[in-house]
Chain A
Amino acid sequence: MSEIHELSTDQLIQGLQDKQFSSVDLTAHFLNRIDKLDGKINSFITLTGETALAKAKACDEMRAQGDRRALLGVPMAHKDIFCTQGVLTTCGSKMLYNFVSPYDATIVHRIDDAGMISLGKLNMDEFAMGSDNASSYFGAVHNPWNLDRVPGGSSGGSAAAVAAGLTPLATASDTGGSIRQPASFCGLTGIKPTYGSVSRFGMIAYASSLDQAGTIGKSAKDCAYLLQPMVGHDARDATSIKHDIPDYVQDMNDAEKTGGDKPLAHLKIGVAKEYFGEGLNSEVETAVKQALKTYEDLGATIVEVNITDPEITLATYYMLAPAEASSNLSRFDGVRFGYRCDDPKDLIDLYTRSRSEGFGAEVQRRILMGTYALSAGYFDAYYTKAQRIRRLIVEDFKTAFHHCDIIASPTVPMTAYKLSDNLDPATMYLGDVYTIGVNLAGLPALSHPVGLSNDGMPIGIQLIGQHWQESQLLSTAHLFQQSTDYHLQKSATAKETV
């Protein structure tokens, strides 16, 4: 049998049911790996080993008493953007270095109710702003495939921890690609569901109209398992939408059973030339095109579609997201919680120094950009115009979906770069070029692995669905993964035993 950390969620559930191992065994195994291996990955900011083991013990007892919840006793870990009651919640920032949340985010509470065990809180770019996880106050995260490389961001800790076999599953959040990009860089599957499908209550806001929680796992099915308890209406989030939620895993199993050898025969996959333009790494292009061939082999039809020029989309995003962020981050003022500067002279000094000392460079950069975009005299030229373009982007996607069911693209134009590359902000922003349109339109999208580059770094493909079609995306990726083994390849750290 494989090492526990190599098992799929299906296998973990089966093993627990068959008493091959207990929840305490699982939890102890992952805690031990974290203890031995996370020193070089730095994926966890906070570990909650004691409470995890205590809950695991309780889960084993509940199982013995007949508790049949599918996810009972399965370990996972939360991105540190989600508030966890009684546990340090930092959002990767010095600003919240001491913030112990007095409440649980809705998804934290729901995952807890599903019987899952949280191992701890995962590293991330500060306030989810970044694409390389280098902006965390708690240090950079290293890519388990190659420790010199970045894991992607902002959910870099989530991706690195799963890829290193430190947790089977992780929550994550995605404002412009922060789930899909690190999933791609770390050879994992990650899904950002439809805006409004997962409650944002208790997820520390970056750009409220774009932020959406999702999951990262080793396969589409793993992602589906963790996503299931997270989705659903929440009265505490006014942007949460009431909608029927299918059973993702059931849908996948059904698709697998009924599909035959051309299981995707009715699927039209749209490919837009705008997603294969200048700046796309040729190895990435080759791998993605190869994956599209595989999809054709599975019965899918490839059609050409048009979408908004990604550069315009990128500009729109970097106008709107910082604008919302500049306001969302105003509450971090040193008055009620979090970091406060020493010996403030007066109120202005308290504000200025607490914020200058508490926020890192990238956060300050985006607050300044956003403040500028909202300022009197500039508002119409920047913010209002960007909102108009956003509506056009939504329309362009709608039009494209008249011709196809799913749109496919590379997830990121490149593979994980070196931490020492120290990309300038504008170059780093270009890495988001294929992922941000999805957030502006509120669409669901996932990334799954489609091979490795010559230097052994993972490459991902992005599948974009129509609103509320996460189940279709997950099943599609699942069928791909049933006939390929890209998702089974292991990072260097995952191969290590302890």
Chain B
Amino acid sequence: MTKANFDPKLLVDGYEVVIGIEIHCQLNTDSKIFSSAPTAFGHEPNTQANIVDLGLPGVLPVLNHGVVERALKFGIGVNAELGLYNTFDRKNYFYPDLPKGYQITQMANPIVGRGYIDMMVNEGEKNEYPKRIGITRAHLEEDAGKSVHNAVDGMTGIDLNRAGTPLIEIVSEPDMRSVHEALAYIKAIHQLVTWLGISDAIMAEGSFRCDCNVSVRKPGAELGTRTELKNLNSFRFIERAINREIERQIDIIEDGGKVIQATRLYDPDKDETRSMRTKEEANDYRYFPDPDLLPVRIEQHTVDEILAAMPELPVARRSRFETELGLSEYDARILTGSRQLADYFEAVVAEAGATSTKIAANWVMGDLLGALNKDDKTIDASPISAAQLAKLLERINDNTLSGKLAKKVFSALYEGEGGDSADAADIIIKTQGLKQETDTGAIKAIVEDVIANNQAMVDEYRGGKQKAFNGLVGQVMKASRGSANPQQVNEILKSLLD
């Protein structure tokens, strides 16, 4: 990236912000990366760790090949060079939650090399722009256990359930120039790993953790000294921590000081970052190849098999939704927010027919996502199946339902009325009598009744009060218990009055 290539709109108090991000993402294998112990979250301490995870004398690691396949999927997903020959190294340091006194990781030959991801940056409602972020590398490694403070009186407890959980560490280039770009990148990676089905990526459970390297510089200057922010377990904390750090660094430089390279922890209670260790205090990890593990050699046919089984990726699917389905860029982006949502939407369109694309998009994004959001549910947990929603759309298209009735049927479907069947909408329409009345004769009879019984309003209308017409329409709808086709009511009423 050329130094002069900066966007003046992104400067903060005249400084350019430079951010690079390391993401530790747990891979969702059933067992650990080097042992057969389960990876399930939230169990009693030390119940999910076997002799290998405990680092007992004499035990040896054996690679779980499930992690290799997942990492390769990720590599393909970020258009990366794959490490078809990759090796494991030991990173040596002492800590009570690190049972062997070293972490097995990939230093020299990672499984994923250089790649990139395209994303859309959102700087607020009307200011969106695309950007490509470089991926430096991604490598496999084992997670450590956890120190549990205050659980044992006067001592620190160690829980090794997490020890040996597989991680992929994704290292970006320092390509981000604002907190919004950083958030967009993290969201794009998060979307990708869940889309590929390789990680649950739940920030609150620690299965998706971000470390942000932040520095500032005057436009055109060399890179400034960076600090690494840790302990960022929500998007909100990431945003706040980066902003606090940018302010802190600019203040130091403005006061004539120098930023010290350090690892800093974000304290959400005080909304500030504080130094954990400086570069001088950093460990010498004495990396060397792990002699217990052979190099991983990946055959081309393995890559070919994974390629063949790769799902259409978010960017490609978004663009297909625009070009093939004719959706707006905005609709396409929302509907590809997750692979499950995109699958759901396409299933609705497949059932309801291509002519229903726009109306399907509106119902999924509006009513359905609205209701799910309110209940804090994702599309997987939707009480309305794609087939059921498609049937509802069909009944709108064939005029069985008015817009108003359709919303009633939707609510009933959402509550589970009508059962599991794909025809649930029809069942609800039938049992609750929600079918739209389109028989001209029947509507005419009701209209005539209303005219006869509301002489005062009829007079007002004929006296020039347009409002009285709406009152009469209301009376007709009421008399039909909402089932009369509103357009036909309008027409018949007009023809009888005028």
Contact = CB atoms under 8 A, between A and B. Distances in A.
A105 B51 CA distance: 12
A280 interface: no
Contact of A330 (B63, B101, B284): B101
Interface in A235-251: 235-239
Contact of A331 (B60, B62, B101): B101
A379 B107 CA distance: 14
A103 B58 CA distance: 10
B230 interface: no
Interface residues of B, number: 28
B452 to A, nearest CB: 89
Contacts of A327: 90, 92, 101-102, 286, 288
A239 B54 contact: no
Interface string B45-68: 000000100111111111100000
Given A327-B92, A327-B288, A374-B286, A204 B100 contact: no
Interface in A361-389: 371, 374-376, 379, 383
B100 A376 contact: no
Contacts of B58: 82-83, 101, 105, 201-205
B94 interface: yes
B60 A102 contact: no
A462 B352 CA distance: 81
Contacts of A324: 288, 291
Contact of B59 (A201, A235, A375): A201
A99 B56 CA distance: 10
B291 A379 contact: no
B60 A103 contact: no
Contacts of A200: 60
B294 interface: yes
B100 A331 contact: yes
Contacts of A209: 291
B474 interface: no
Nearest to A103: B51
Contacts of A91: 57
B176 to A, nearest CB: 29
Nearest to A210: B291
B96 A101 contact: no
B60 A101 contact: no
B293 interface: yes
A146 interface: no
A336 B55 contact: yes
A54 B58 CA distance: 27
Contacts of A276: none
A330 B62 contact: no
Nearest to B91: A327
A91 B57 CA distance: 10
A154 interface: no
B99 A336 contact: yes
B102 A102 contact: no
A96 interface: yes
Contacts of B90: 327
Contacts of A498: none
A323 interface: yes
Contact of A237 (B60, B100, B287, B288): B60
Nearest to A377: B284
A335 interface: yes
Contacts of A21: none
Interface string A202-221: 11110111000000000000
Interface in A39-76: none
Contacts of A426: none
A347 B149 CA distance: 14
A396 interface: no
Interface string B98-119: 0111100000000000000000
Contacts of B51: 102-103
A318 interface: no
A83 B57 CA distance: 8
A207 B288 CA distance: 13
B375 interface: no
A95 to B, nearest CB: 9
Interface in A324-340: 324, 326-327, 329-333, 335-337
Nearest to B294: A238
A83 B56 CA distance: 10
Interface string B78-93: 0000000000001010
Interface string A266-292: 000000000000000000000000000
A99 B286 contact: no
Contact of A239 (B57, B59, B92, B294): B294
Contact of B292 (A89, A208, A351): A208
B477 interface: no
A85 B274 CA distance: 48
B286 A371 contact: yes
The 3 closest A-B pairs by CB, nearest first: A330-B101, A209-B291, A374-B286
26 contacts: A83-B56, A103-B51, A201-B60, A204-B57, A204-B58, A205-B58, A205-B292, A235-B62, A238-B60, A239-B60, A239-B293, A324-B288, A327-B90, A327-B101, A329-B101, A330-B92, A330-B94, A330-B102, A331-B56, A333-B94, A336-B56, A336-B158, A337-B57, A371-B286, A374-B286, A375-B286
Given A330-B92, A331-B100, 4 more contacts: A203-B58, A208-B291, A331-B56, A379-B286
Interface of B: 51, 54-63, 90, 92, 94, 96, 99-102, 158, 284, 286-288, 291-294
